[in-house]
Chain A
Amino acid sequence: MNRRDSLKALGLIAAGSAAALSNSSCDSPTKPTKVVGDEKLPGVQDFEHERTQALYSEQYFDKHEMATIAILTDLIIPKDDNSPSATEVGVPDFIEFIVKDIPSHKLPIRGGLKWLDVYAQKKFSKAFVELSKENQTSILDEIAYPSKAKPEVSQGVSFFNLMRDLTSSGYLTTKEGISFLGYAGNRPGVWNGVPEDILKEHGFDLA
């Protein structure tokens, strides 16, 4: 079987040429990402599907926590001219799911959110969500840079590291996040090595 037959077998070029595929993804960066819900993909085991459905049916974070998560994720990954913000692609919902999926994240996030509110209360006499953006970022400036953070906010630093990690996972794995990064694969093609101009640019002999 040659490559063309392979693609036919996959049902990928039934309607024409493989070239049509090369632009098939990342075409609508503003549409919110649809995450798999009730659908069970072929190859997913029954226990995995049931487990996922059970997690979807639970709610872990309360409204206030979700509101705080929303503000934090948008501060971590804001909108820019060409790409949406974290909340625009559903990152808070992803965080709600992933802490249930990986329960070791539950306590550090819940406790960390509480830490953040207590710290905001001490500094500005309000919960974090009620602060001006300026005051919110002044707190982040204290906990978002581990190497210069003061020891008294070390728990805040740990919390923010995790929040930053989960936000990156939630954002950069969406259609929009992948478009932002410029990942160009996950489609049938032919690998002929590094394009010549790039090899040259990096000082490698064309071989």
Chain B
Amino acid sequence: MGTFQIKEESTVYDAIVVGSGAGGGMAGYILVNAGLKVLMLEAGPFFDPAKDALQLRWPWESPRRGASTTRPFGDFDAAYGGWQIEGEPYTHEKGTEFDWFRARMLGGRTNHWGRISLRMGPDDFKPKDNITDAWPITYDEVKPFYDRVDRMIGIYGTVENLHNEPDGIFLKPPKPRLNEHYIMRGAKKSGVTVIPGRGSVLTEALPGNKDRGTCFYCGQCGRACKVYGDFSSSSCLVIPAMKTGNLTVIDNAMVREILSNDEGLATGVSYVNTKDLKEYSVKGKTIILGASACESARLMLNSKSKAHPGGIGNSSGLVGKYLHDSTGADVGGFLPQLLDRKRYNEDGVGSVHIYSPWWLGDKKLDFARGYHIEYWGGMGMPSYGSFHGVQNYNHLATRTDGLPQESGGYGLSLKNDYRRFYGASVGMSGRGTALARKENYCEIDPNKVDKFGIPVLKFNYTWTNEEVKQAKHMIETFQEIMHNMGAVITSNIPDESQLYGLATPGKIIHEGGTTRMGDNSNTSVLNKWGQAHDCKNLYVVDAGPFVQQGDKNLTWTILALSMRTAEYILQEKKKLNS
């Protein structure tokens, strides 16, 4: 091996964007369309869904039949990476848990996400529960950006006029599947609201857009869409932004450090090429981090200098703090009414057809805030594991073939059971507000580096009673809905010792809060524009700036806030030039 050498590029970009997911993609898109010369660095390879999506592949085209051996969501899923990446470890404080999902590819996790696109509401920005913290901005300030994201990217849904579930500018939603009709019936009896889903899938042509195709209902958004019929940052933001000629994308570029001068202003970044391991440094007037909440925090903490001894942007000591994921818990089973059901294609869209927004408002319960419910089931494409554990439930439906009512089995009767039960599955998952607490954080592990020599993150995350009680409420509600729709529950009902099935932090992949925004530089990392209090040309546009997420999936808010931050950057530049 030769001596360590850093290649310095002389170009000074107007902006360098680290990361190409929802936040980085949107910021880059806005800036290059305003004429700025932007460099985007992505740690993973280039990914174009048109070429690289494994959409419409059959299970037998995978030697493991879609099993999740190398991709946590299965062999055809569009995310490169997962909760564990070879050579890129992370650690935990003893007795705490956090699973960190990273997608290393152009577009990041937006290539495979559920496309569930919910706006945070007025009470999410300014909570009324006296427990969770308020944002420095209101819904009304963000609303125009949500509106623009709706128009620019496309979202289906229905106008419902619910106070904390703001309506958007919607395309038509997909109709419910058969199991979803049963769900709506059961939920109604339980007093749980169910409304059409809200997803970023083009169920109609998107007005004014000629580059994206319309959904053809394969239900495989998770594999990324070859016709760009759903939202991925790769297909909808980065690739279109490249067409302006103003965006340079370097892939396989793992950013090591943000460089700064004696005055503490950021001057560029250094990165390592993950393929040939050569070192580079590049210069930019503005640095924008969209590497994901924890990765951006890691990068800031690893960027120490005389001006920023605790890491760039970290004079408050809060970078990495207030880490929070969503809560999650599930119940599943089958609908006896759907045994031996008639076959037809019900793939529908790959996002949700229906969902339950939090229906209890600010009603006083024994936990803060609330959750929404996502529903599943039906005649999906068979995959590895789809029929595992039949012995746990095939005795729960009355046999019609005259054989003894026994679980398990083999032979023709078992073979017929597989067919009989196919498509009868049904279930639901809660996704709720977890508290953003200073006590939950990621920090730099003093003793460990990754394969590039970059110090790794150490996580410290524990749930409180608030989240545990919320999970209890989920499990009780789900059982009632299942009962009211006539379903048989086959999943284990977790008790208090299992925290009522509350998912390990990080498992829902909604982590945020690590570079929270606020008006006070002692109690927040960024100002309300996503700009670092102590480094004026450093911005964060992923879920790091979230003060406190609601039960709404993050992506639509990341997009709206990133657009808002990018426009603020443009305004600031104008001020400098005038």
Give residues in A with beta carbon < 8 Å to B: 1-3, 5-7, 9-10, 25, 33-36, 41-45, 47-48, 51-52, 55-56, 75-78, 80, 83, 94, 97-98, 101-102, 137, 140, 144-148, 160-161, 164-165, 168-170, 172-175, 177-178, 180-195, 198-199, 202, 204
Contact = CB atoms under 8 A, between A and B. Distances in A.
Given A168-B387, A169-B387, A186 B381 contact: yes
A191 B220 CA distance: 14
Interface string B138-182: 000000000000000000000000000000000000111110011
Contacts of B220: 186
B573 interface: no
Interface string B89-123: 00000000000000000000000000000000000
B66 A43 contact: no
Interface string B517-554: 00000000000000000000000000000000000000
A184 B345 contact: yes
A10 B387 contact: no
B2 interface: no
A97 B64 contact: yes
Given A35-B63, A186-B347, A168 B390 contact: yes
B212 interface: yes
A183 B410 contact: no
Interface stretch (B52-60, B303-311, B448-456): B52-60
Contact of A164 (B53, B80, B348, B414): B414
20 contacts: A1-B209, A2-B205, A10-B213, A36-B62, A41-B54, A45-B80, A102-B69, A146-B391, A165-B390, A168-B390, A169-B384, A172-B418, A173-B60, A182-B419, A183-B379, A185-B379, A187-B218, A191-B345, A194-B177, A198-B341
A174 B379 CA distance: 16
Given A43-B53, A204-B181, A1 B213 contact: yes
A94 B65 contact: yes
Interface in B20-73: 45, 50-54, 56-67, 69-70
Given A94-B65, A169-B65, A191-B347, A164 B410 contact: yes
A49 to B, nearest CB: 10
B386 A169 contact: yes
B512 to A, nearest CB: 28
Contacts of A169: 65, 67, 384-388
B317 interface: no
A25 B382 CA distance: 14
A145 B406 contact: yes
Given A52-B63, A97-B63, A173-B383, A77 B52 contact: no
Contact of B407 (A36, A43, A146): A146
Contacts of A180: 415, 419
A1 B205 contact: yes
Given A98-B65, A144-B408, 6 more contacts: A42-B52, A45-B45, A97-B63, A137-B411, A168-B418, A169-B65
B203 to A, nearest CB: 9
Given A1-B210, A183-B343, A193-B176, A173 B59 contact: yes
A192 B217 CA distance: 10
Contact of B57 (A9, A41, A101, A191): A41
A204 B54 CA distance: 36
Given A10-B226, A76-B414, A178-B58, A190 B408 contact: no
A186 B337 contact: no
B409 A145 contact: yes
Contacts of B218: 185-188
B70 A51 contact: yes
Contacts of A80: 412, 415
Contact of B422 (A137, A174, A182, A187): A182
B54 A43 contact: yes
A143 to B, nearest CB: 9
A160 B214 CA distance: 46
A158 to B, nearest CB: 11
B298 to A, nearest CB: 23
Interface of B: 45, 50-54, 56-67, 69-70, 78, 80, 174-178, 181-182, 185, 205, 209-220, 226-227, 229, 337, 341-349, 379-391, 395, 406-412, 414-415, 418-419, 422
Contacts of A195: 342, 344
A184 B63 contact: no
Nearest to B51: A42
A160 B344 CA distance: 33
Contact of B217 (A5, A184, A189): A189
A35 B65 CA distance: 9
Contacts of A1: 205, 209-214, 227
A36 B345 CA distance: 26
Contacts of B388: 165, 168-169
Contacts of A170: 65
A191 B346 contact: yes
B226 A199 contact: no
Contact of B63 (A5, A36, A199, A204): A36
Contacts of B344: 184, 195, 198
Contact of A7 (B63, B216, B395): B216
A191 B176 contact: no
B236 to A, nearest CB: 13
B384 A173 contact: yes
B178 A202 contact: yes
Contacts of A6: 213-216, 227, 229
Nearest to A26: B58
A62 to B, nearest CB: 21
Residue from B50, B59, B379 whose CB has the most chain A CB atoms within 10 Å = B59
A188 B235 CA distance: 20
Nearest to B407: A147
B29 to A, nearest CB: 19
A166 B415 CA distance: 13
B385 A76 contact: no
